[in-house]
Structure 1
């Protein structure tokens, strides 16, 4: 960590330098990657007592982008996110099990399509640094894997081989750059 004394504090995710992405198996033989382009998150970090840290995040489901307009339209529809009825998904931390450097796990409640389930994110923190504009930045990565059916996303298109067009497991990957509030 570059400057541990600046680690504690409230950080807002810098969406211009962060990403919320996912990967899912397609036709059982390849992967499709996508991201969400509209999201917010706030991290309250407590370096001295990491268990007192918390994070809250919101993702606009209609901002999904898989670089294919037809697929994105299908994902936004009732078979997947049903963005008209469920315009957001949220995450609220329940516990932090991280060391003083911010590495470990964060468990919390993920809500997608009105269904809330606990998930655990593996978190790696890369440090704190002041940028050339005077902002204190905290860099991190977080990842987890969920089963989409646990959240009511149960679209199935069977393949002749017995598999499904869209895999059930979704890998979620977050690259984050938080800016400390003044």
Structure 2
């Protein structure tokens, strides 16, 4: 009788422990959905103080991990093909690829690797990390807003974010004279990931 009670207690404990573990959220791994064009890296810079010059990088890839119950553990890595810069003007794009700017022959990739994810009470967050551009690595902070999370109509699980940041051209060794109003580049990021 004692043995039977002990066995039942052990089985109950094991079942409860398993259920508790099943209910524990773990960080999920996501691949950024560039194939479906549900992500983008866009930039803008002032043109002499008269207008905004806008463009994008057409080719990039990345992955991230994210758990809504433990957002502080989020991590992301993104690699950008710098030659894919596209400002909708062939001659300007050729100049942007030259040594005056991105120097894509010597530095064909830019890379962002996160170091910290700091949630805020308003539902937004700050993503900190290192941006390597033209072979120069500097710390950068991105203001992040979570857009949504859930299952899509095809059975995939997705989560998406928007982000904004900025940096000075001179921080990455770009000293081409564009005038005092054109020293800062503003980045607008859309990241939608598919859970793996």
Match of 1:141 in 2: 162
More displaced 10-residue stretch of structure 1: 130-139 or 106-115: 130-139
Q: Does the alignment pair 1:172 with 2:187?
A: yes
Report the Cα distance in structure 1 between the residues aligned to 2:173 and 2:25, rounded to whole angstroms. Answer: 41
Answer yes or no: is the 8 Å Cα contact 1:48–1:100 preserved in 2: no
5+ residue gaps, structure 1, are 158-162
More displaced 10-residue stretch of structure 1: 86-95 or 102-111: 102-111
Give 1 or 2: higher helix fraction. Answer: 2
Q: 2:41 aligns with which of 11, 14, 20?
A: 20
Q: Pairwise mapping of residues 19-168 of structure 1 onto structure 2 (< 5 A)?
A: 19-99=40-120, 103-157=124-178, 163-164=179-180, 167-168=182-183
SS in 2 for 1:17: coil
Corresponding pairs, count: 171
Report the Cα distance in structure 2 between the residues aligned to 1:116 and 1:147, rounded to whole angstroms. Answer: 13
5+ residue gaps, structure 2, are 1-23
Give 1 or 2: higher strand fraction. Answer: 1
> What do you get for the CA RMSD once the two structures are aligned?
2.0
Report the Cα distance in structure 2 between the residues aligned to 1:65 and 1:26, rounded to whole angstroms. Answer: 16
Match of 2:28 in 1: 9
Normalising to structure 1: TM-score of the pair? Answer: 0.87
Q: 1:101 to 1:40 in 2, by over 3 A?
A: farther
Larger relative CO (CA 8 A, sep 6+): 1 or 2? 1
